[in-house]
Structure 1
Amino acid sequence: MSSASEPQPGDTVLVTDGPFAQFTGPVRSVDRERRRVQLIVQIFGDDTRIDIPLEHVERAPEA
């Protein structure tokens, strides 16, 4: 993912790989040095913060 297309805090992203694949949620923060992104996803009705590799997310299509 190029820096121009990297998600920014507040963007809604789709997780594309790993155990949270197909989850969507808003980005809380992006750590470019570690290539990680923190986002909030709904698991069993609760907001859960997850930290995953930046390469495993893409911007969610507009609804």
Structure 2
Amino acid sequence: MRTDPELRPGDRVVVHDGPFAQHTGPVLTIDPVRDRVQLIVQVFGDDTRIDVPLDTVEKVPGV
């Protein structure tokens, strides 16, 4: 999966792989050392903080 090198906190991303595939949400933090990103997604109507591999997210175009 291609990851946008200009990804920043606040950017809206979509998860492309794993149990949260197709979820979208804003980036909270990026950990380049661990290659992980934290974001908020809606799960059963509640905001949920998730931590996923950086290469499984892509910035939503036009946002």
TM-score by length of 2: 0.88
Unaligned stretches of 5+ residues in structure 1:
none
The structure whose RCO (Cα within 8 Å, separation 6+) is larger is: 2
Q: Which aligned segments of 4 or more residues in structure 1 are displaced greater than 2 angstroms?
A: none
**What TM-score, normalized to structure 1?**
0.88
Structure 2: state its 5+ residue gaps.
Answer: none
**Residues 40-59 of structure 1 mapped to structure 2, 5 A cutoff:** 40-59=40-59
Q: What is the one-letter code of the residue matched to 2:9? A: P
How many residue pairs end up in the alignment? Answer: 62
Percent sequence identity over matched residues?
Answer: 61
Q: Structure 1: how far apart are the matches of 2:5 and 2:32?
A: 13
Higher helix share: 1
Structure 1 vs Structure 2 CA RMSD: 1.7
